[in-house]
Amino acid sequence: MADTFTDMPEHVSSTATDATLTLSGGQTLHGDWVVRCLGTRDKKSIINLPSSTQEPIFGANGIRVKDTMQIDDVAYPHIYACGDICSRDTVKLAGVAMYGAYIAAINIARTISSVSNDSPTLEESPLYPSKILLLMSKDHFIMQLGDEIWEKEKTRQYVSDDMGLQGSINGLSLNKVPAAYSPFDLAPAF
């Protein structure tokens, strides 16, 4: 299992004027620049749970999950998944994954804290959490709320000269969005 996440089949070296990509077979590719990004592998082998329905738990797009981030199978109400491994109709971006993890953490804490006979009220993760896509200054920004990219004029009321992270969250009235300057600043509110 330890080798699963340390295998690095490709190596990238680059300078400002030239970039070389060396493939695991020894072939080299030259270009003006190389975009370094993460690859994915089939994680089906780590989720080997039998499904209680005809539909497999781990499908072509990942693990079936509910909006509460629980595995979508009645046999596993206390197993949660978040991030790119989930089969959701969302883009696979860090912000969406982080928000899903936040929802999963709240729901796990509520489940653990509830009395054994009670079913806690669980939070649901929206498909497209509100986010500022790009904020460079008061005149250069792009915002998204839900599945709609807002035009500059519509969002002007939410942007001031120097908002900072907390000002952005307050301006958008995003009370349930975790405000963090790093992932370690998050604390579940339950």
User: What DSSP line would sit under 153-169, residue for residue?
Assistant: HHHGGG--TT-HHHHHH
pLDDT beyond 60 at 51:
yes
Rounded-to-integer distance, Cα 160 and Cα 171, Å: 9
- The pTM score is 0.51
Provide the domain limits for residue 29: 10-39
Both 108 and 52 in a single domain? yes
Both 63 and 88 in a single domain? yes
Q: Identify whether 186 is part of a domain.
A: no
Long-range contacts of 77-86 (CB under 8 A, 24+ apart): 78/111, 79/49, 80/104, 80/107, 80/108, 84/40, 85/43, 85/47, 86/62
Write down the pLDDT at residue 171: 57
Both 87 and 138 in a single domain? no
Burial 112-129 (b: 16+ CB within 10 A, else e): eeeeeeeeeebbebeebb
Q: Identify whether 168 is part of a domain.
A: yes
Helix residue ranges per DSSP H, the chain: 94-113, 152-155, 164-171
> How many folded domains does the chain comprise?
3
pLDDT greater at residue 136 or residue 167: 167
Both 48 and 32 in a single domain? no
In terms of Cβ atoms closer than 10 Å to its own Cβ (0-12, 13-18, 19+), residue 92 is: middle
Highest mean pLDDT among 30-44, 86-100, 102-116: 102-116
Tokens 């998204």 belong to residue: 144
Q: How high is the mean pLDDT of the chain?
A: 69
Q: Identify whether 185 is part of a domain.
A: no
Both 35 and 76 in a single domain? no
